[in-house]
Structure 1
Amino acid sequence: MPERQVSVDEATLVADLQELEPVRKSLRVRADVAKAFRVFTEEMDSWWPRTHHIGKSPMKRVVVEGRPMGAIYTDQEDGTVCPWGSVVTWEPPHLFVMAWQIRPDWTFEPDLGKCSEVEVRFTPADDGTTLVELEHRHIERHGAGWSKMHESVNGGWIGVLEKFGAQVDAA
């Protein structure tokens, strides 16, 4: 049987998939775990950047339905509801995992098998602060364009978490 020739693009893709590390970010907030979890989930609308949405019109608010398989969506100014995630794990006040249902072209992905996950852990420290650790993983599930998405969320989570931290500290 003749040996199959692998193209350079296929070889690069395989190497990239093997090397793909999850996006990991962390910060410490001046709040207990219950408050940090609440602000991250129930009060996401108070800190999520208004520019970070996939709707067709400006965003009015972000909603996180606090339960397993709860929806995560934005209400848009044109009256539409724009889904962009689902709650995978809901374990207040220590763990929140959501399916990132956004395609690399910044549209909604209904198939959970083609979505990455964002896990956020809240760990108390002895000094009353909380370590918040975010891991955005399985980005390769998005298929073509996953590397661009990896690059975007790697930089994007920095600013988003800064806004979250500022809101926790102010609340």
Structure 2
Amino acid sequence: MPERQLMMDEATLLADSQELEPVRKSVRVKAEVARAFRVFTEEMDSWWPRTHHIGSSPMKRVVVEGKPMGAIYSEQEDGTNCPWGSVLTWEPPHLFVMAWQIRPDWQFEPDLSRCSEVEVRFTPADDGTTLVELEHRHMKRHGAGWSKMHEQVNSGWVGVMERFAAKADEWV
């Protein structure tokens, strides 16, 4: 192997061997805490971008089964269900944690030990608003390619959280 290629491979291995900080995003919504939790979980289909799925046909809707080890999946236009997460913690209206069961190649990962986690905390404020804090962590569990995925979800969560906030603020 040429020396230059070896040096690039070592740099890639070094980057993949180090854990980056978790992806953290937060937003304050005008909704009270129970509504914010409900919109994020039970009403995810109303704000999740239709382009953000791993199915083989266009996405019809997102389903979150609101219970520990409940499935998170999308229903596709071709009639298939496409799993992409599992509920790890369900503590309405303050805490929701899910396994991010998507590999760096954007395919389903059934092995929970090879999945990252998305934790979402809902903290009420005295003025009736809610602070929603998201942490996407343990990206290294995904194996090879995890650092690129970290980069992609870091930017992706920005737009997703903006869509959530807009929906949570409706009818307030």
Taking structure 2 as the reference length, the TM-score comes to 0.91
Residue 140 of structure 1 corresponds to 140
1:12/1:58 Cα in 2 relative to 1: closer, same or farther (>3 Å)?
closer
- In structure 2, C-alpha distance between the alignment counterparts of 1:73 and 1:10, rounded to whole Å: 37
Structure 1 unmatched runs, 5+: 1-6
Structure 2 unmatched runs, 5+: 1-5
Greater Cα offset, 9-18 or 70-79: 9-18
Taking structure 1 as the reference length, the TM-score comes to 0.92
- In structure 1, C-alpha distance between the alignment counterparts of 2:134 and 2:17, rounded to whole Å: 21
Query: Following superposition of structure 1 onto structure 2, how do residues 96-115 of structure 1 map, counting pairs within 5 Å?
Result: 96-115=96-115
The amino acid across from 1:108 in the alignment is F
Question: Aligned pair count?
Answer: 165
- In structure 2, C-alpha distance between the alignment counterparts of 1:43 and 1:55, rounded to whole Å: 20
- In structure 2, C-alpha distance between the alignment counterparts of 1:19 and 1:144, rounded to whole Å: 12
**What SS is found at the alignment partner of 2:126?**
coil
Residue 44 of structure 2 corresponds to 44
The amino acid across from 1:62 in the alignment is V
**What SS is found at the alignment partner of 1:87?**
strand
Task: Give the alignment's Cα RMSD to 1 decimal.
Answer: 1.4
- In structure 2, C-alpha distance between the alignment counterparts of 1:58 and 1:12, rounded to whole Å: 34
- In structure 1, C-alpha distance between the alignment counterparts of 2:56 and 2:18, rounded to whole Å: 35
1:81/1:12 Cα in 2 relative to 1: closer, same or farther (>3 Å)?
closer
**What SS is found at the alignment partner of 2:78?**
coil
Q: Is the 8 A contact 2:16 2:145 kept in 1?
A: no
